[in-house]
Amino acid sequence: MKIGNIHTVGAIAQFLGRRVVGDESLIVTGINEIHRVEPGDLVFVDHPKYYDKALNSAATFILIDKEVAVPKGKALIISPEPFDDYNKLTRKFSPYRPQMTMTGENCQIADSAHLSPNCFIGHDVIIGENVIIHPGAYIGDGTVIEENAIIGPNAVIGHYAFYFKKKPSGYDRMHSCGFVCIERNVEIGAGSTIDAGVSAITRIGEGTKIDNLVQIGHDTIVGKNCLFASQVGIAGCCNIGNNVTMWGQVGCASGVTIGDGAVILAQSGIAKSLEGGKVYFGSPCDESKVKMKELFVLKRLSESGGK
């Protein structure tokens, strides 16, 4: 999320009531979680396991719960509760905006777009030429839908990211301030859900076709001309290449990368990154020819009574 205007890290720290280690005059240009950070961004880290990842990331500013050596060109904000302070910042720069009408403020909707009855369009939404949105669809704040896209009945585009921190009192939600971009010629099936980025973009690439009842998590990037069958579930922060096919009920863990042209057969479970250009099957999935050989051996073993 870009925060606009000019905000020094010193001013950010003052707003939070925290102290800076490093150059207080450096300019903060954005706020992002670790998977999508860019130079000028502020990121948080609250566990030693992830200190190095945050400190060595592209982020220029690290909201951290321990004073450590400051990498060159960066600054730290020391906080006993980095998660809470991060949420305080995202709510400041991207506050919740109540809406009592079916179409929000500052929307740009092409004259040729067709919005069916009972569609909810949030604030700052952009809808391109010849887009069709079927009844009951929810289009969240900041969503971009490019030309010729089709959004099926009761689809939900841009709901909150599923991102929580467990505390003794329960689960605290990370405030979502990202959005969704649906590129041209994409089709989204009935009842499918695409979550907003935590602080960046969840993107569905040009020409991709998504069946009914598919779930795509926050900050996931889906490439061009992919095909996802019903009940596919993709967790957050995944990178899916171009021309990837996932058949019914495939499940994908968070942070996975899948190469161009990969095919994942039905009911497979993806636990780690996969190379492109291959066919996969099973849970945890592997190349289908390997899995089929394993199943054949198990069948023979069963038939032989384990002998």
Catalytic residues: 218
Alpha-carbon distance of 238 to 217, in angstroms, equals: 8
Alpha-carbon distance of 232 to 250, in angstroms, equals: 5
The residues, any chain, with a CB within 8 Å of residue 118's CB and separated by 6 or more, are 102, 135, 136
Q: Say if residue 4 is exposed, middle or buried (CB neighbours under 10 Å; 0-12, 13-18, 19+).
A: exposed
DSSP per-residue letters across 166-187: EETTEEEEPPP--EEEE-TT-E
Alpha-carbon distance of 102 to 242, in angstroms, equals: 35
Please say whether the dihedral angle defined by the alpha carbons of residues 239, 146, 210 and 287, taken in this order, is positive or negative: negative
CA angle at 212 for the pair 126 and 98, rounded to the nearest 5°: 40
Structure tokens at 189: 């099936």
* DSSP letter assigned to residue 218: T
Alpha-carbon distance of 145 to 148, in angstroms, equals: 9
How many CB atoms neighbour CB 278 within 10 A?
Answer: 15
Q: Which residue has the tokens 């994409």?
A: 186
How many CB atoms neighbour CB 172 within 10 A?
Answer: 14
Sheet (strand 41-45) strand order:
2-8, 27-31, 41-45, 61-64, 75-78, 19-21
Nearest CA to 196 out of 268, 94, 98 is that of 94
The helix/strand/coil state of 245 is strand
